[in-house]
Structure 1
Amino acid sequence: MERPIRQVAKRLLMAFAVLVVTALVVYADRAGYNDNSDSSVDFLDAFYYATVTLSTTGYGDITPVSDSARLTNIFVITPLRVLFLIILVGTTLEVLTERTREEWRLNRWRSTLRDHTVVIGFGTKGRSAIQTVCTTGLKKEQVVVVDPSNKVIDAATSEGFAGVIGDATRSEVLRRAEVHRARQIIIAPQRDDTAVLVTLTARQLNRGAKIVAAVREEENAPLLKQSGADAVITSSGAAGRLLGLSVLSPAAGMVMEDLIQQGSGLDIVERPVVRAEVGRSPRETDDLVVSVVRGHRVLGYDDSSIGGLQLTDRLITIVRVTPGARVAPHTRPLPED
């Protein structure tokens, strides 16, 4: 879609072209016009007459006196005047109509948006997080991207996500993204200090949403948790641990990298306990269980306090998926750690 500034520029050029044509027509028949000041019409007078005529001002200091000049005004200049007005009025109406349509669309979008996912930052981390979440069946219409860059928001909207341009550290920007109605918020800006401020603002607006934030330096992770983040992912620390593991055991590093890459090979997913598994131990299930989520506790698969599995438990398992396969809707991929 053509940008509004380009549309306005084209309209202005068209209006100027009409003005020039009108001035040339008047100058070509300048002998048929009378100027009250000096009785003659030069090139400047022709442009002046064209300007006041097309704008319907009409001071009357320059007037057509010959029959040819009057006929030219009737059959040439009057249609040019109408065209000039259509161009200018049409531009105004189009801008107002587009603005009204956009306001209506945004109001309708905001009124229906509930329990959505807000992603702060659409860089490598934010984009990967969205792709991972969408594998669970989350619709793109339920994802709102917030970023200060117009190009980034254009890229997000071209992929089907809703976009909000602005500084996410400001509460009014987050309100435009309906953060107060969101179910989960992913914070992945370029700077750690920005992540802290965004987390503080988002938690103030929404006390119940799950907030997951990414930081570059591990020393900033406690500050993010104090600011209200439920989980903090340290990108540099995770990358460093993966590098170290790959040096000690290349095979183990390959397995970990496979687990991190969502949608193929091995994936870590969270799923509910089915009735057939109630009373069994984690080792007796068909899947490879690594942890059991009971209430707010995450228990290791060999924790003696687990006993038999309960219907309200959730299992964190490792499963094998084929490329292009979608994770079942009742599962939830875990964030990279």
Structure 2
Amino acid sequence: MDRSQGARTVRRGPAARDGGTAVVVVMPDRGVGPLVALVRRLALAVGALAAAALIVYLQRDGYVDNNTDGPIGLIDAFYYATVSLSTTGYGDIAPVTDTARLWTILAITPLRVLFLIVLVGTTVELLTERSRQAFRIRRWRSRVRDHVVVVGFGTKGKAAVDTLLGDDARPERIVVVDTDRGRLDAASAMGLVTVRGDATQSSVLRTAGLPHAASLIVATNRDDTAVLVTLTARELAPRIVITAAVRETENVHLLRQSGADSVVVSAETAGRLLGVATTSPNVVAVVEDLLTPDAGMSLSERDVEPSEVGGSPRHLRDIVLGVVRGDEVHQIDSPDVDALERGDRLLFVKRVSTAKAPKP
């Protein structure tokens, strides 16, 4: 989100409630680009024109030019094909023999229809693109449930999305909300649904389907904006899981009070890693590996299997770091979780089969 957003949305007026601010939703387009599609259709139209001209030229003895007494040449054949396929039909060149007329019926007429379909289809598609997008958006909003909404697609937001995709999340179930067109274009290129608008406004979050979402990631560049987004989101969706990032530690309690379930202090976390890297760079390499879900090792969470109930988490095959019992996370050496119970969840190190690519 840009810096103007936080200052602009401190005052919640009627425009924010009634959707006065323009909100743009873009569904990812999995087809070819507009330039490629236009070139393909142009090539198809030229091919139909060339095929019709070749047919006329090969049957030139069956055609007569009312303006001249000479034979039909190649230019004349292209001229006839052009006026015929475009349905102009001046009548100066016309088939006179039965063979030429038969070829007109069997070949020229279908090519004429194809030529018109290409031209008219391109025009109609350009005119109906907005209607098609609106239909796709309505269909998506009626079907999407339990998706993830990401507010802010800067460095933090993109890294969060990459992690979700690395955990096998489907791109169409991730919605990115931002005000920057360039960031939204980058998100759309990844196959994500994008919403352009101010996420501190409830109308924008409703457009992103927040009331039906499973979780919300707040990755704005300003802490005050993160607080406003979290407050608005918690009001719209009381049960949604909200994870927010802040720059300053002193703002963590504000995010907690606003309704965030998890708060990540980005600047402080990066500072800790920088400090550790000065004395133990290998530790930082392992931490980076754990935070990369598509190679080496990664952190994950799973339910306790029936065969593991009653056993100690320290004796499992997986490297268990913690146990979630109820709403509380216990350390691995806590006596409260020395014996696993049904319903517990394990926080463990997952081994990813894909080999980690060497650094350049």
Q: Distance in 1 between matches of 2:181 and 2:254?
A: 30
**Which residues in structure 2 correspond to 1:1-337 (within 5 Å)?**
1=33, 97-323=128-354
* CA displacement, residues 50-100 of structure 1 (integer Å, 9 cap, x when unaligned): xxxxxxxxxxxxxxxxxxxxxxxxx9xxxxxxxxxxxxxx99976762332
* Corresponding residue SS for 2:337: coil
Distance, in Å, in 1 between the alignment partners of 2:309 and 2:125 is 63
1: CA distance, partners of 2:124 / 2:295: 52
Kindly state the Cα deviation for residue 263 of structure 1 after the two structures are TM-superposed: 2.0
Of structures 1 and 2, the one with the larger relative CO (CA 8 A, separation 6+) is 2
- Structure 1 distance, partners of 2:234, 2:250, is 21
For 1:324 and 1:227, the matched residues in 2 are separated by 41
Aligned partners of 1:318 and 1:168: how far apart in 2?
35
CA positional deviation for 1:238 = 0.4
Structure 2: how far apart are the matches of 1:103 and 1:252? 50
Matched AA of 1:185: L
Distance 2:175 2:225 in 1: 18
Structure exhibiting the larger radius of gyration computed from Cα positions: 1
Segments of structure 2 that go 5 or more residues without pairing to the other structure are 1-32, 36-89, 91-120
**Whole-angstrom distance in 2 between the partners of 1:320 and 1:170:** 41
Q: Which amino acid aligns with 1:295?
A: G
Deviation for aligned residue 1:244: 1.4
Question: Quick one: distance in 1 between partners of 2:138 and 2:288?
Answer: 43
Retained in 1: the 8 A contact 2:167–2:293? Answer: no
Q: Which moved more, 1:284-293 or 1:148-157?
A: 148-157
Indicate how the Cα distance of structure 1 residues 300 and 105 shifts in structure 2: closer, same or farther if over 3 A, else same.
same
Question: Structure 1: how far apart are the matches of 2:240 and 2:249?
Answer: 23
What is the Cα deviation at residue 226 of structure 1? 0.8
| Matched residue type, 1:110 | R
Q: 1:324 to 1:120 in 2, by over 3 A?
A: farther
For the 8 Å contact 2:313–2:332, the answer to whether it is kept is yes
Question: How many Å apart are 1:171 and its aligned residue?
Answer: 1.1
Deviation at 1:249, TM superposition (A): 2.3
Distance in 2 between residues matched to 1:93 and 1:268, nearest whole Å = 50
> Which is further off, 90-99 or 241-250?
90-99
Distance 1:228 1:109 in 2: 28
> Structure 1: how far apart are the matches of 2:213 and 2:166?
19
What CA distance in whole angstroms lies between the structure 1 residues aligned with 2:123 and 2:292? 50
**Matches of 1:272 and 1:91 in 2, distance apart?**
53
Aligned partner letter, 1:186 = I
For the 8 Å contact 2:293–2:352, the answer to whether it is kept is no
**How far off is 1:324 after superposition?**
6.7
Shift of 1:251: 2.6
- Displacement, 1:216? 1.3
Structure-1-length-normalised TM-score: 0.67
Cα distance change on mapping 1:92 and 1:170 into 2, 3 Å:
farther
2: CA distance between counterparts of 1:314 and 1:127? 28
SS, match of residue 336 in structure 2: coil
Q: Give the superposition deviation at 1:123.
A: 1.3
Q: TM-score, normalized by length of structure 2? A: 0.63
- Alignment CA distance shift 1:102-1:286 (3 Å): same
Q: What's the secondary structure of 1:319's corresponding residue?
A: strand
Aligned residues: 241
d(CA) in 2 for partners of 1:265, 1:118: 28
**Alpha-carbon distance, 1:284 to partner:** 1.3
Secondary structure in 1 aligned to 2:335?
coil
